[in-house]
Amino acid sequence: MILICISMDAVFFYNRIPFIYHDYSFFDQLNDSLIINKKFFDKKILITTEKKIPKNLDIDHIEYMECDSLNEVHFNRIKSWLHFCNSKLFTNNSILLDSDIIFNNDISFLFENNFAIAFNAQKETISPLNAGLILVNHTKKNIIKNHFSKIFQLGSKIKHLKDQRFPDIETSGIWGLDEIVLNLYLSNIKKNINLKSFIKNINTEMIYKFSEEIDIIDQQFGISYKYCDKKNTASYFGIHFAGNTKLEMKKYINKLLKINL
């Protein structure tokens, strides 16, 4: 199969984390990941709730976003999706991306499919959807705005609930809401299915049409490092160094750089 490269922008989000998460800062992750990933992007955009951002970032445009509380990291994150899609920056097919995902190959060919939004499946984790990788098609802006408006409204209603995955964190609005709200939103679209079982049983190599406007892309585009085949990492389009595997990302980047010398 011939994969066609399509113009694609990358959109990152930064909000300071109100607790000690790990020693590998967001900005270091971002710059390190872009050593490998930037060749796949036309523009690199950062949406942030912070007014002071390091000057050495390999970013083309920084967009400040107002928020009610800097502590509500993941509520602000879902707000950033809507903010970007309502902004003048949304002029190209775009990927809403975590700073800890490394691509082995260009995934822009996925935009050949007729979706408005495409979400990344996770088959091994508690959450069946990965909020760290979302594709948005710029030719379907109004559809995307409608979905993200509803997702934001839903998030506003449930952000005070606790995420059972993070029992020590007071509310999901601080941590966990991004994936909770995506899973609930898609479950509401197809109320007759169990989303986790549904995604686990998807038998597809690339992409599945979930609804007329929403696709689900296979986990190989952003598989958690924890669950990938460590001896065959090159077989995945993208690897997500989530949680406490972030320091493995540095090692992986160095490995890729040596291979490409």
Look at the block and give the residue holding tokens 């406007």.
213
Q: Return mean pLDDT, the chain.
A: 94
pLDDT on residue 3: 67
Confidence class for position 19, pLDDT limits 50, 70, 90: confident
Q: Which tokens go with 126?
A: 């508690």
At position 34, the amino acid (one-letter code) is: L
Between the alpha carbon of residue 83 and those of residues 29, 61, 131, 149, the distances in Å are 23, 14, 16, 10
Contacts with 234 (C-beta within 8 Å, 6 or more apart), sequence order: 104
Residues in a beta bridge with 207: 217
Give 145's pLDDT tier (boundaries 50, 70, 90). very high
Among candidate residues 83, 34, 81, 82, the one with its CA nearest the CA of residue 60: 34
Which listed CATH number (1.20.58.1610, 3.90.550.10, 3.20.20.70, 3.40.1190.10) goes with 9-259?
3.90.550.10
Round to the nearest angstrom and report the end-to-end CA distance of the chain.
27
Cα–Cα distance measured from residue 98 to residue 159, given in angstroms and rounded to the nearest whole number: 21
CA-CA distance, 182 to 228, in Å (whole number)?
23
- pLDDT for the residue numbered 243: 86
Residue 12's nearest CA partner among 51, 55, 66, 49 is 49
Instruction: Give 33-67 pLDDT, tens digit per residue.
Output: 999 999 999 999 999 999 999 999 999 999 999 99
Q: What percent of the chain has pLDDT over 70?
A: 97
| Out of 13-27, 61-75, 205-219, least confident range | 13-27
Ranges of each domain in the chain? 9-259
How far is the C-alpha of 77 from the C-alpha of 178, rounded, in Å?
A: 7
The residues facing 215 across adjacent strands are: 118, 209
The pLDDT assigned to 143 comes to: 98
Q: Spell 4-31 as b/e; 16+ CB within 10 A means b.
A: eeeebbbbbbbbeeeeeeeebebbebbb
